[in-house]
Amino acid sequence: MAEIDQQGIAVGIPPPRKSTTSIHVTALDGIVNVNSLFTFAVFVGLSLAPGQRSLDDRTACDAGINVAKKLIVFEVFSFSFFLFSSLIAQGLKLATNLINSKEVYASRAHVNLRLLKFGIMGSVVGSVMGCLFLMLSMVNIIEIRLGLLSCRSKHTVCAVTSLVVLVSSALLVYISTYIYAVVYRLPKNVT
């Protein structure tokens, strides 16, 4: 047990190294921050009001009302998943910080590992689903602005292909990193 001075500060014990609890809180902060950026992207997408002609010369390549409806639905799904993910991450952070407040060193706490893994998994799934729906909504924005994908406009195909390849690759790395961290690197006891 640590000796406490008159000001409530532990004396005679060196401060601990960065613990896994503070690393988890930092990771949860990262999820919340990234989700905030993506949520902003959702609102930017919604602000691009459909109903105008595409930049393609062919009127048959203009996106119809169904593409505009899908855009709004995908944006709402994306926002919902990002909010879901952020709220789970914030809840885990809050619980961890409240548990930490009872400890002598605020960077250490005994956390239920199963709950932590389950919560982080829920947050990761929410972020991945939010990214997928955001990507689908971006495809709709590209179709509204550059013409339908079915018209095979060079610019539309190039934009959609690069979007799908890059976002899918990034999500694959994100999911792989999560699986590696949880399966191989997360300690048996979190302190």
Record the pTM: 0.72
Q: Has residue 8 been placed in a domain?
A: no
Q: Which domain holds residue 112?
A: 17-185
Considering 53-62, 74-83, 109-118, 174-183, the range whose residues carry the highest mean pLDDT is 74-83
pLDDT in tens, 69-96: 898 899 889 989 988 988 888 888 777 7
**Residue 174 within a domain:** yes
Residue 163 lies in a domain: yes
Q: How far apart are CA 83 and CA 123, in angstroms?
A: 10
Let me know if residue 62 belongs to a domain: yes
- 11 Cβ contact list (under 8 Å, min separation 6): 2, 3, 4, 5
Answer yes or no: is 12 within a domain: no
Q: Number of folded domains in the chain?
A: 1
